[in-house]
Amino acid sequence: MSAPSLAPSIAYNFTQLAELETQITIIDTRIRQSPDLLDPKVQGLHRLKLQYLRSKILLEKHLQRFITKTAKPPATGFPDTWKDNPARFAHEALGLDLFEHQVQFCALRQRTALLIAGRGAGKSTAACVKALHQACSRPRSTVLVVSSGQRMSTHFGNQVLTLVRQSPLHDSVASLSHEQVVFKNGSEIKLLPANPGTIRGYHPKTTHGGGAMTIILDEACFMEQGDEIRKAVEYALITTPPDLGQLCIVSSPTSTASWVYEYVQRANQGDPDVGLIQCPSRANPRITEEELERLRAAKNPLEYRAEVLGEWVDGAYGLFAGLLESNRIGPDAEPLPEDHLAHLGADLALSFSPDHDRNALAVTASWPGPDGDLRFRVLDLVTLGHASGEELRRAVQDLCEKYGVQTAAIEQYQGKALAEYCQSLGIETQLAAPTPGNQQMIFHELHRLLREKRLQLPDALPDLFWEEMNAFEYRREADGRVSFGHPPRAHDDTVYALAWSLFAAIHIPPPKPSAKPLILFVPRK
């Protein structure tokens, strides 16, 4: 394949590289959270990670070959045709053919420039072009690139280094590292952590003698100290003339409570100092409709709107509201298959008062459906108020004997003793940590099963369960974090118990049958 036919896909390749790195990080997190390294699912994660790593290496080699092949001989100086045309600079110097929304963002000259887009739209690539064009076109410029986390900072730095090393720009560079790029024209690109104090320490008059300053906030909506970082940026730019200073905000959208949304509102209200480019993931023509449909099916509506459609969303969403009725079954439902398995989930109260949480126990059945995918049915839900350890053990024993429970997931807070008791009953048991990662996993799985109508909810379940399920919220916080839980003056104990029972069904293998003694028959001579 010739280089010209590859050029339109280069930005997408960088996006795919970033996605691979994200998936590898997610897998590493799930592996660290698993208490059993011999679990077949953990071993499967290791195999998947290896596949992703191989794909990452191949893609990196492909990018290096492409950029090397398309790189033009080093130019003398910085051509005037590049100075006011970032898209031409990207094509001729970097071998990148930008998408239309990337071209528009790189051309913004307002004091504050925003690129708000869905996943895979090429935000980081556009930011890299912006940083390199600013540093090369304006001598003695300071470009600060602030990323939301170390992983994002490393990825951005790697992308900048690859572009510089494999392009005519390498002859213009005085020094090159993962922390900074210093150009012979006196400009500098500096990669910084999301630390307000560090940003405040930079100033054009103290760095390069009064040159231009550009500050790029990569995935700004996901910075934990976002508002403090905004104040630090304003301080760093305060003495920079309007035509020499620019704040570039690049991010996927989150909640409307985010500080970034204030700039979006200013742009929409016609503020001449704020330029905004906002677009969905499909602005990248390399993302297929099939992939978009896959994302739509895998995510709840709030996630899909923010991460794929590139829309700002309100802070909370009833995660299971609207999905319960289609999964309800009456007393005349078909009996369970004889080979079904039963699984226990337990959410234990940290303390007790009339306003505090309850102890909740849930038992769920699982069996393979005609398509091979598991089906589930809630068998029982039990709530206990101020229960002693003995009362909890008795309730668990009753449920295990009644339904033949084989696996159990006990939330780890206050749960060690109960988990040991379940193990003593011959039940394969794990302590489950309600970490943000595990919460995303269990509630996304619960949402998916309800959406696919694979979780049967008997009408006879207590009213408390229906109330808690309808009220349960998925939230996108102002800093981009995701959280789950009940609204004020409500509870979510039965929801957690159900989720842990499904975790036990999906992720904990049942105990192996006891080995029978081996009898050898020795033939007579």
The reported pLDDT for the residue numbered 316 is: 67
CA 434, CA 157: separation in Å to the nearest integer?
33
pLDDT given for residue 403 in this prediction: 95
Q: What are phi and psi of 495, to 5 degrees?
A: -65, -45
Collapsing DSSP to helix, strand or coil, 141 comes out as coil
Which region, left, alpha or beta, applies to residue 140 given φ > 0 means left and ψ of -120 to 50 means alpha?
Answer: left
Instruction: Provide the residue ranges of all domains of the chain, joining segments of one domain with +.
Output: 1-70, 74-302, 316-507
Q: Any idea what DSSP says for residue 250?
A: E
Give the H/E segment covering residue 471. Answer: helix 463-471
β-pair partners for 245:
213
φ, ψ dihedrals at 504, nearest 5°: -60, -40
Q: How far apart are the first and last CA of the chain?
A: 73
341-347 vs 359-368, strand pairing mode: antiparallel
Q: How far is CA 415 from the centre of its chain?
A: 29
Judge residue 242's burial from the number of C-beta atoms within 10 Å of its C-beta, 0-12 exposed, 13-18 middle, 19 or more buried.
Answer: exposed
Helix-strand-coil split of the chain, %, nearest 5: 45, 20, 35
CA dihedral 77, 80, 81, 86 (to 10 degrees): 80
- Nearest CA-CA partner of 379 in 292, 312, 465, 474: 465
Q: In sequence order, what are the beta bridge partners of 328? A: 457
Give the Å distances, CA to CA, from 158 to 22, 60, 92, 125, 137. Answer: 14, 10, 20, 11, 22
Task: For domain 74-302, give the CATH number.
Answer: 3.40.50.300
Q: Rounded distance, CA 300 to CA 523, Å?
A: 65
The two structure tokens encoding residue 78: 């910085």
Calpha distance 450→364 (Å, rounded): 14
- Per-residue pLDDT in tens (0 to 9) along the chain, 525 residues: 333 333 445 556 666 776 777 777 777 777 776 666 667 777 777 778 778 777 877 777 776 666 555 544 444 467 888 888 999 999 998 889 999 999 999 999 999 999 999 989 999 999 999 999 999 988 988 999 988 777 777 888 888 888 888 888 888 888 888 788 999 998 999 988 777 777 776 765 444 445 788 999 998 888 877 788 888 888 888 778 878 889 999 999 988 888 899 999 999 999 999 999 999 999 999 898 898 888 887 777 778 888 899 988 876 677 887 789 999 999 999 999 999 999 999 998 765 545 556 899 999 999 999 888 999 999 999 999 878 888 999 999 999 999 999 999 999 877 889 999 999 999 999 998 888 888 888 998 998 899 899 999 999 999 999 999 988 888 777 666 777 878 777 789 999 999 999 999 999 998 876 544 444 444 554
Q: How far apart are CA 135 and CA 212, in angstroms?
A: 9
Which fold is adopted by the domain 316-507? Nucleotidyltransferase; domain 5 (3.30.420)
Q: β-pairing, 374-384 with 359-368?
A: antiparallel
Comparing CA positions, the residue from 200, 155, 149, 208 lying closest to residue 182 is 208
Residues 113 and 129: their CA atoms lie apart, in Å, by 14
Can you tell me the distance from the alpha carbon of 50 to that of 130, in angstroms, rounded to the nearest whole number? 34
Q: Would the CA dihedral through 482, 483, 484, 489 be positive or negative?
A: negative
Ramachandran region, residue 108 (left: φ > 0; alpha: ψ -120 to 50; beta: rest): beta
Q: Note the Cα 181 to chain centre separation in Å.
A: 29
Helix (H) or strand (E) holding 401, with range, is helix 389-403
Q: What angle do CA 14, 15, 17 make, to 5 degrees?
A: 65
The CA distance from 61 to 69, in Å, is: 12
Residue 19 host element (H or E): helix 10-33
Buried b (16+ CB within 10 A) or exposed e, 285-314: ebbeeeebeebeeebbebbbbbbbbbbbbe
Contact status, residue 285 vs residue 156, Cβ threshold 8 Å: no
* Nearest Cα residue to 508 out of 147, 34, 71: 34
Amino acid at 292: L
pLDDT value at position 63?
A: 65
**Residue 250 confidence (pLDDT):** 95
Alpha carbon distance 230, 462 (integer Å): 49
